[in-house]
Amino acid sequence: MFCAAGGEIGGANGDRRAASGTDDANGRKIPATIGLPSGPIGQGRGERGDDMMRLRAVVLPAALLALFCVWIAPVRSDAAAPRRNPDLIRTCLITNDVDRLVAFYEPVLGIRAERTGSDYAEFHTGTGVLAVFSEKAQQQYIPGSAIGASNRGLVLEFRVIGVDGEYARLQKLVKTWVKPPTTQPWGTRSFCFRDPDGNLVDFYMPAQAH
C-alpha cells in the first residue's frame, strides 16, 4: 500500500522507503510521485487482457462449432443412411370371429396363437406373422376401412417340407378344399383350401424337393 505526501511504502517483503519531495518557490513541500509502477501505466494488465481476448477468440468459436455438430448429427445421420426397401413382416386378417379363426389356424399351422385381449391374435411362423383382428375393433380405429370375412383377392402362402404329408394331415381340419396336391408348370407343388372366413390358403414346396 502507499501513503500520500510523506508516507511510507510497504511491499510484500516488508521493505520501506521514505517518500521525498521538493520545495516550491515559497518553500512549501511538494509530495513526490510514489507507488507507481515503472513503464506505461497498466501495461501488465493490458497485456493480460489482450491474452484473454485472443483466448476467447479461439475457444468460443470452437465451442459453438462443437455444439452445432452435436445438434445436426442425428439429422445428417438419417439423411446419409442408405434407403432400405420396406419389409413385409405381418399379414392381418380382419374377421368377425377371432376365436373361430384362432381355433382353426392353431392346429393347421401347429403354432399356438399369442393373444392380446379378445380382439387380436398373432401366429409367429418364423419368417412372418399372421395376425387376426376383429372387425369391430378395426371399425373403431379406422372406420369403414375393412369388412371381415370378405377376402376374395388374397392368398396366404405357406412353404412346407412335404406337401402330400401336410395334405393328409389336414383332412380332418379343413372343411373347404380348393385344389389337391398338384405340381405346377413353374416348378412348385402345392394344394389350396379355405379357412372358415373364406380366405384362400396355399401350402407349397419346390417340386424338386418332393
pTM over 0.75: no
**Higher per-residue pLDDT: 137 or 18:** 137
Average pLDDT score over residue span 63-90: 71
What range defines the domain where residue 123 resides? 88-146
Answer yes or no: is pLDDT of 188 > 80.
yes
Helices (H), the chain: 43-80, 98-109, 135-141, 163-169
pLDDT at 35: 46
Residue 167's identity, in one-letter code, is: Y
Beta strands 29-30 and 22-23 are antiparallel
The C-alpha angle with vertex 186 and arms to 199 and 89, in degrees rounded to 5, equals 45
Q: Which of 36-40, 47-51, 96-100 has the lowest mean pLDDT?
A: 36-40
Q: Which of 33-47, 69-83, 107-121, 158-172 has the lowest mean pLDDT?
A: 33-47
Contacts of 144-147 spanning 24+ positions with Cβ under 8 A: 146/94, 147/94
> Is 119 inside any structural domain?
yes
Answer yes or no: is pLDDT of 209 > 90.
no
Q: Give the pLDDT band of residue 63 (cuts 50, 70, 90).
A: confident
Average pLDDT score over residue span 100-129: 97
> Is 25 inside any structural domain?
no
Instruction: Calculate the average pLDDT of the chain.
Output: 80
Q: Are residues 136 and 175 in the same domain?
A: no
Q: Are residues 164 and 210 in the same domain?
A: yes
Q: Are residues 155 and 210 in the same domain?
A: yes
> Is 207 inside any structural domain?
yes
pLDDT tens by residue, 3-20:
443 444 444 444 444 444
- Name residue 131's beta-bridge partners: 92, 122
Q: Are residues 136 and 163 in the same domain?
A: no
Answer yes or no: is pLDDT of 140 > 80.
yes
Q: Are residues 183 and 135 in the same domain?
A: no
Average pLDDT score over residue span 142-171: 96
Answer yes or no: is pLDDT of 145 > 60.
yes
Which residue reads 370371429 in cell numbers? 97
Last residue of a domain, one of 146, 169, 191: 146
pLDDT at 65: 72
Residue 131's identity, in one-letter code, is: A
> Is 179 inside any structural domain?
yes
Residue 149's identity, in one-letter code, is: A
151 vs 93, 95, 141, 196, 197, CA distance in Å? 9, 10, 20, 12, 8
pLDDT at 50: 73
Average pLDDT score over residue span 44-55: 66
Q: Are residues 135 and 160 in the same domain?
A: no
Q: Give the pLDDT band of residue 74 (cuts 50, 70, 90).
A: low
The C-alpha angle with vertex 178 and arms to 175 and 183, in degrees rounded to 5, equals 130
